[in-house]
């Protein structure tokens, strides 16, 4: 309720300048997306210096304002920095895509807690750098579509997406199997075809083709060697 102070764990989605010394920080929390103002954030003696950054999970305390959706951040302590992302530019771009998807699709209310878990897990995996970027992208996106109630229905016999209504998009059976279990697929070309198919599904159902996705998919392909990063 307005006028109350709330304490929660949150993932930093976006940081925007608010003035020459202040920020607006947008978080994904267990109750949805929350925007907070951070006055004096970049002043040399600010208590918030180094306490938050993109992809961080933090414990935050914020004051709920009675009017508007911009609340006042009172305290912030980092819990998970995911420093591994700083050493891999392509993983960092993929992380931006993950944050954009979660920020766009996560609902307001208690169901948002599942989105926090999904995003935290995706960012953790990228920070560890143990999997291929395309497999991680497919893993995250299919899980996000399931949470959004838009899970691709793939027919095993003929290999197809069931799109809105009666429309279908034929896909090879190998691609269908890859979408079901991207981590089991070792063929990079099939992974790429599966990522493109999910992109069509994403655009068709959400009427969106985010620039972050195009950038992330591009980063998963090594243009210099003409090979896919698997």
Instruction: Give tens-digit pLDDT for 31-47.
Output: 999 999 999 999 999 99
Torsion of CA 189, 194, 199, 202, to 10 degrees: -170
The CATH architecture that domain 5-80 belongs to is Beta Barrel (2.40)
115: pLDDT confidence band, cut at 50, 70 and 90? very high
Distance CA 151, CA 207 (A): 15
Bridge partners of 210?
none
For residue range 145-165, what is the model confidence (pLDDT) as tens digits?
889 888 766 654 556 666 555
pLDDT of residue 127: 96
- Domain residues of the chain, as ranges? 5-80, 84-228
The 10 Å Cβ neighbour count of residue 7 is 10
Is residue 83 pLDDT above 90, yes or no? yes
Torsion of CA 83, 8, 32, 78, to 10 degrees: -10
pTM: 0.89
């Amino acid at each position: 309720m307005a006028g109350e102070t709330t304490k929660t764990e949150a993932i930093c989605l976006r940081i925007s300048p608010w003035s020459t010394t202040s920020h607006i920080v947008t978080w994904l929390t267990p109750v949805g997306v929350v925007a907070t103002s951070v006055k004096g954030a970049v002043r040399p003696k600010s208590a918030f210096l180094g306490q938050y950054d993109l992809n961080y999970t933090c414990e935050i305390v914020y004051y709920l304002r009675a009017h508007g959706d911009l609340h006042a951040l009172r305290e912030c302590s980092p819990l998970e920095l995911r420093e591994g992302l700083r050493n891999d530019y392509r993983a960092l771009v993929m992380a931006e895509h993950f944050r954009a998807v979660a920020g766009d699709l996560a609902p307001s209310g208690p169901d948002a807690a599942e989105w926090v878990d999904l995003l935290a897990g995706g960012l953790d995996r990228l920070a560890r750098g143990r999997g291929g970027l395309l497999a991680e992208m497919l893993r995250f996106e299919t899980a996000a579509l399931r949470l959004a109630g838009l899970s691709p229905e793939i027919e095993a016999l003929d290999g197809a997406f069931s799109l809105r209504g009666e429309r279908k998009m034929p896909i090879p059976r190998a691609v269908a199997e890859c979408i079901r279990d991207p981590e089991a697929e070792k063929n990079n070309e099939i992974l790429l075809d599966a990522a493109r198919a999910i992109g069509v599904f994403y655009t068709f159902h959400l009427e969106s083709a985010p620039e972050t996705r195009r950038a992330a998919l591009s980063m998963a392909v090594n243009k210099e060697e003409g090979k896919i990063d698997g």
